[in-house]
């Protein structure tokens, strides 16, 4: 987790998502952005009192490196690919909470199915901390895109469900400790 907040000038125009509504907004080059979260492969920044999520592919706009590509052995076993998928899910963060979505208990299931051509299809069932969360579509798309970065995963389906509804008891002990709830 990032210990201190850093203020930087954006090096170019960038499209970011307003938190928590998810509305896309173009932030202008030169705008002062305070990086409040630099975890996983996206960034949360404050610009003029508003919180925004910047995609990892746009890391350069705040002077950061884009996330590294996922690597697994060429002849990876199903277990290797499944571990890589779970590792990718742990790089997805709610922009308002500095805990990954796995530790938050938002992932109910991640299943891999091998296809006839040797590729794999990932199926994830997940939830949100609140049904009305405006960042829901972003988190679902983030999960999908992260899984598609795993070699041999050619298709990813992400189902958003609210049954059972998320409760804070679903968080890992690590997450509860990090948020001072334990």
For residue range 152-175, list pLDDT tens digits in order: 999 999 999 999 999 999 999 999
Question: Quick one: which of 149, 151, 101, 148 has its CA closest to 125?
Answer: 101
Delimit the domains of the chain by residue range. Answer: 6-62, 78-178
Asked if the model's pLDDT at residue 136 lies above 70, the reply is yes
CATH class, 6-62 region: mainly beta
Reported in sequence order, the residue ranges of 19-106 that DSSP labels E, i.e. its strands, are: 24-27, 32-39, 42-47, 50-55
Identify the CATH number of the domain defined by range 78-178. Answer: 3.30.300.130
Find the mean pLDDT for residues 130-152: 89
CA distance 143 to 126: 9
Question: What pTM was estimated for this model as a whole?
Answer: 0.78
CA distance 152 to 179: 36
For the ranges 44-48, 82-86, 95-99, 111-115, which has the lowest average pLDDT?
95-99
What is the per-residue pLDDT for 2?
Answer: 45
């Amino acid at each position: 987790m990032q210990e201190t907040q850093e203020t930087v000038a954006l090096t170019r125009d960038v499209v970011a998502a307003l938190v928590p509504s998810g509305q896309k907004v173009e932030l202008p080059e030169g705008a002062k952005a305070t990086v409040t979260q630099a975890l996983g492969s996206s960034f949360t920044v404050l610009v003029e009192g508003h919180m925004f999520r910047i995609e990892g592919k746009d890391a350069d706009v705040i002077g950061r490196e884009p996330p590294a590509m996922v690597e697994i052995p060429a002849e990876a076993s199903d277990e290797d690919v499944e571990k890589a998928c779970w590792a990718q899910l742990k790089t997805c963060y709610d922009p308002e909470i500095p805990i990954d979505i796995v530790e938050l208990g938002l992932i109910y299931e991640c299943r891999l199915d091998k296809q006839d051509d040797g590729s794999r299809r990932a199926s994830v069932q997940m939830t949100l901390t609140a049904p009305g969360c405006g960042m829901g579509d972003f988190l679902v798309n983030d999960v999908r895109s992260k899984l598609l970065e795993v070699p041999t995963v050619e298709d990813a389906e992400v189902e958003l469900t609210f049954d059972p509804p998320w409760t804070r008891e679903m968080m890992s002990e690590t997450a509860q400790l990090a948020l001072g709830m334990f």
